[in-house]
Amino acid sequence: MLTEDFKVRFYETDALGHVNNTVIPGWIETGRLPIFEFFGEMSPETQSLIVARLEVDYLFPIYFGSPVTVNTYVTRMGGSSFDITTEVWQKDKLCAKGKSVLVYFDYQKECSVKLPQDIRDRLATITHPEHPRDA
């Protein structure tokens, strides 16, 4: 599992005093950035990862003044895509949960590309300690 800790910044809060819903997808993106390193140099001229889907469940408000922990892990692997689940915790409470579907994509051919075995093996190491990857 990958873990990132964030300080909640005042400008991330809204008029109701909690973190705005638009901030959570940014934290989810930051939590998955180390996974992009598995794929080496990526660019639109070659092969890259694209986000095909992003879901966010907002479970409890997150407030300014206490740090958050973002846990990221792989929950499914397909032929050319994989799912990443992200949990956002504050004060030992699960406050938000996200699911990202990433696709390995060839921009020249404009189609998905099979995940290489070495990358699949590396992705398989990013599991939740209590809930290993399903597939």
Tokens of 102: 């990433």
Burial per residue of 101-110, b for 16 or more beta-carbon CB atoms within 10 angstroms, e otherwise: bbbbbeeeee
Domain residue limits at 6: 2-123
The pTM of this model reads: 0.88
Write the pLDDT tens digit of every residue in 38-94.
Answer: 887 766 677 689 999 999 999 999 999 999 999 999 999 999 999 999 999 999 999
Amino acid 37: pLDDT: 85
Question: Is residue 96 in a domain?
Answer: yes
What gap in Å lies between CA 42 and CA 57, rounded to an integer? Answer: 30
Write the pLDDT tens digit of every residue in 105-128.
Answer: 988 889 999 999 999 999 999 988
Question: Is residue 135 in a domain?
Answer: no
Q: By the 8 A CB rule, do 6 and 14 touch?
A: no
Considering its fold, how many domains does the chain have in total? 1
What gap in Å lies between CA 107 and CA 104, rounded to an integer? Answer: 10
Question: Is residue 132 in a domain?
Answer: no
Question: Is residue 26 in a domain?
Answer: yes
Question: Is residue 12 in a domain?
Answer: yes
Amino acid 69: pLDDT: 97
Q: What is the DSSP letter of 60?
A: S
State phi, psi for 68 to the nearest 5 degrees.
-120, 155
Question: Is residue 10 in a domain?
Answer: yes
Question: Is residue 130 in a domain?
Answer: no
Question: Is residue 34 in a domain?
Answer: yes
Give me the CATH number covering residue 7: 3.10.129.10
